[in-house]
Amino acid sequence: MHGGMRVCGHGGSASDAQLPVTSGISGRRVLVTGAGGFIGSHLVQLLVAEGAEVRAFVHYNSRGDAAHLEGLNLPGVEVVSGEIQDPFSVRAAVEGCSTVFHLAALIGIPYSYVAPQSYVATNISGTLNVLEAARSADVQRVVHTSTSETYGTARYTPIDEAHPLQGQSPYSATKIGADKLAESYWRSFGLPVTTLRPFNTFGPRQSLRAVIPTIIAQALGDGPIRLGSRTPVRDFTFVEDTARAFLAAGTSDATVGKTLNAGSGKGITIGELADLILEMLGVEREIVTDDDRVRPEASEVFELLADASRLRELCGWTPQVPLRDGLARTAEWVERNMAVLKPGVYNV
């Protein structure tokens, strides 16, 4: 396949180790789109540990690097550079794979206010390219990535999969569109699609556009902690648990044609989260509101709390890493990487 290469490098740290999982993925040829991203790179690690033959589809760049896959000890992973908006490179990547985990997306909510058309092209048209390529290649399973943001502000909690969808940002609107495309390919063509809807995932390798790493990085630096609104409630899941949810959803026949939440079912406000992080780090710091970080009022999602009972009942999945343990491991990673992170810059 054109553009492929083998990843070789130094092993990850002990804090990057995956929890053991026993699954039926061993020996399968698997494609992960968005493999160089935060969740994607952790999923690739887990799939390799489970014995899958992994093809990692990463966004092309002139440096020829594989983003977060760089430096990980992942022998045998085939890295393919391409563009999710291009149907030809997507079709080539899907060829020969029995399972596709589709994670490639634009995910920053604030940037979706700035460049909404790029979100349509990546999240909707890109998903269409994956679904059509999978249908043509007779792929045995597609796991499509959704987001809890598709629910908008909760009408009731905990939020189950029957909760109405509401596009409160261009980002969430494009993910709703992508979810419905995935549903249509199951209903129209019988493509075996499962939609996984993670709530707020956090952990090592997450960019500072996300709230947990930006709080940690600011706490390890100087000056006040700058945040947007502190009242929204979020349901945080450690990235290794989210990767396990993908694996569970992609290896169970019971999940085909279904949408599944993945979350802890435990909520915490952003203000409480900031206080907890400062307490864990032994730091006393003023927390101030940064207007640039505040979402438009009608766009802010005020409460996300998962009902993940369907995933638990169908696959036996439950989160294994408590919030405090996950925060400690994330803080270790942020501290090791402070030289390249930019805690003083607001990343949209």
Check which CATH number belongs to the domain holding 260 and give it.
3.40.50.720
Q: Is residue 127 part of a domain?
A: yes
DSSP run (H or E) holding 128: helix 126-136
Q: In what order do the strands lie in the sheet with 193-198?
A: 4-6, 78-82, 53-59, 29-33, 99-102, 141-145, 193-198, 259-262
**Structural domain containing residue 50:** 4-201+238-264+305-321
3-state secondary structure of 50: coil
pLDDT of 19 reads 40
Task: Specify the pairing of strand 287-289 against strand 193-198.
Answer: unpaired
Structural domains in the chain (count): 1
Per the CB < 8 A criterion, the answer to whether 108 and 209 are in contact is: yes
Q: Is residue 169 part of a domain?
A: yes
Q: Is residue 252 part of a domain?
A: yes
Tokens of 271: 């203000």
Q: Is residue 233 part of a domain?
A: no
State yes or no: cis peptide before 158, omega within 30 of 0. yes
Angle formed by the axes of helices 126-136 and 170-189, to 10°?
A: 20
Q: What's the number of CA atoms in the CB half-sphere (13 Å) around residue 251? A: 22
pLDDT of 15 reads 37
Q: What are the residues whose beta carbons fall under 8 Å from the beta carbon of 45, sequence distance 6 or more?
A: 12, 16, 18, 72, 74, 243
Tokens of 15: 């804090």
pLDDT of 16 reads 41
One pLDDT digit (tens) per residue for the chain, 348 residues: 334 433 333 333 333 433 444 568 999 999 999 999 999 999 999 999 999 999 999 999 988 889 999 989 898 999 999 999 999 999 999 999 999 999 999 999 999 999 999 999 999 999 999 999 999 999 999 999 999 999 998 999 999 999 999 999 999 999 999 999 999 999 999 999 999 999 999 999 999 989 999 999 999 988 899 988 888 899 999 999 999 999 999 999 999 999 999 999 999 999 999 999 999 999 998 888 777 777 677 767 788 999 999 999 999 999 999 999 999 999 999 999 998 887 666 565
Q: Is residue 336 part of a domain?
A: no
Q: For tokens 């249908």, name the residue.
A: 135
Q: Decide: residue 224, CB within 10 A, 0-12 exposed, 13-18 middle, 19+ buried.
A: exposed
DSSP 8-state symbol, 191 = -
Q: Is residue 277 part of a domain?
A: no
Q: Is residue 285 part of a domain?
A: no
Q: For tokens 């979020």, name the residue.
A: 234
DSSP run (H or E) holding 3: none
Angle formed by the axes of helices 323-336 and 270-281, to 10°?
A: 60
Q: What are the residues whose beta carbons fall under 8 Å from the beta carbon of 232, sequence distance 6 or more?
A: 269, 270, 300, 301, 302, 303, 304
Q: Is residue 280 part of a domain?
A: no
